[in-house]
Amino acid sequence: MGTLPSPDTAAREGPADVELMLRVKAHDDEQAFAAIMDRYQVPLVGFFRSMGLVNDAPDAAQDTFLRLYRYRRRYEPRASLRTFIYLLARQVCTDASRKRVRRDRMIEAFRQEQADETAQTRSPVDDAFRAEALLRELPEAMRLVVVMNIYQGLCYEEIAAALEIPIGTVKSRMFNAMARLREALRVQRQQT
């Protein structure tokens, strides 16, 4: 099974994830825990933004780390720490679901204003809005798979572990999500 380079595993230095987490598990080592947070902070904030939490992404990332610490005794070195973290991140997403719905409505209104004002120009920010508009076309289950794979660099196997679903379900969700996004992209381009 081939895997893509992982944005959140690139250019790591220092002890391996497993070693750090075992230190946290065995000794509540705060230095090791801080190193894990430094390592995963950016990917997690990015993940939550992609999942629609936008301004609350840093808080959601913090919540994920607090859960990681709370569940540190359950960590087993045979499991990837990254997978474990995203499993917790998914739980944070689920818990924040209602808030996100309300927030999405507000963001939608804001976006509409932005779109009206800047419809004639194209910039990286516009691209980001477009990408997010595309993602909003997806139900959460599909969006999780797409974000984890494309933005977070998790392979199907890791996604299956993080979402606690069969790998076949990951494949079909990914395919269906890509097909929906293809249609959404087509519509988006027709509109611009």
Partner 1 sequence: MCKDNKLEGSAPVSCSRAEEAAGFVRGELSDPERASFEAHLGDCGACRTLVSDFREVVGALGARPAVAFDPAFAARTLAKLREVEAGSEPGILLRVRKGPWPRVAGIAAGLLLVAGAVLFWRIDRQAAVGPGGNGTRQAVDSALAWLARDQLPSGAWNSARWQGQKEYDVALSSMALLAFLRHDGVSGTGVHADTVQRAVAYLLAQQDAAGAFGPACDGRMYNHGLATVALIEAYRWSGAESLRAPIGRAIGFIREEQLESGGWGYAKRVGAEANTSISVWQLYALNLAQESGLAESPAVLGRGMRWLHGMVDGNGLFGYERAGDFPNGSDTLTAMGAFCLFGNRRALGAEPAEAAKIEQALQAVASHWDRETDFYRWFFLSHAIQARGTPELRASLARIQESLVGMRSLAGATAGTWDPKGAWSSVGGRLYTTAMATLALQAGSRSTKIM
Q: What is the DSSP letter of 4?
A: P
Query: According to CB under 8 A, which one of 62, 80, 114, 169 is a site residue for partner 1?
Result: 62
Q: Indicate whether 185 belongs to the interface with partner 1 (CB under 8 A).
A: yes
* One of 17, 50, 60, 88 touching partner 1 (CB under 8 A): 50
Residues within window 67-96 making contact with partner 1, judged by CB under 8 A: 69, 73
Closest of 154, 141, 151 to residue 82, by C-alpha: 154
Helices 81-95, 156-163: crossing angle, 10 deg rounding: 50
The interface with partner 1 within residues 3-22 (CB under 8 A) comprises 3-4
Residues 96 and 53: beta-carbon distance below 8 Å? yes
Residue 176 engages partner 1 in binding (rule: CB under 8 A):
yes
The footprint of partner 1 on residues 95-124 (CB under 8 A) is 124
Q: Which of 12, 27, 99, 105 binds partner 1 (CB under 8 A)?
A: 27
Kindly state whether residue 58 participates in binding partner 1, applying the rule CB under 8 A: yes
181 forms part of the interface with partner 1 (CB under 8 A): yes
CB of 26 to partner 1, least distance (A): 6
Q: How far apart are CA 37 and CA 31, in angstroms?
A: 10
b/e for 37-46, b at 16 or more Cβ within 10 A?
bebbbebbbb
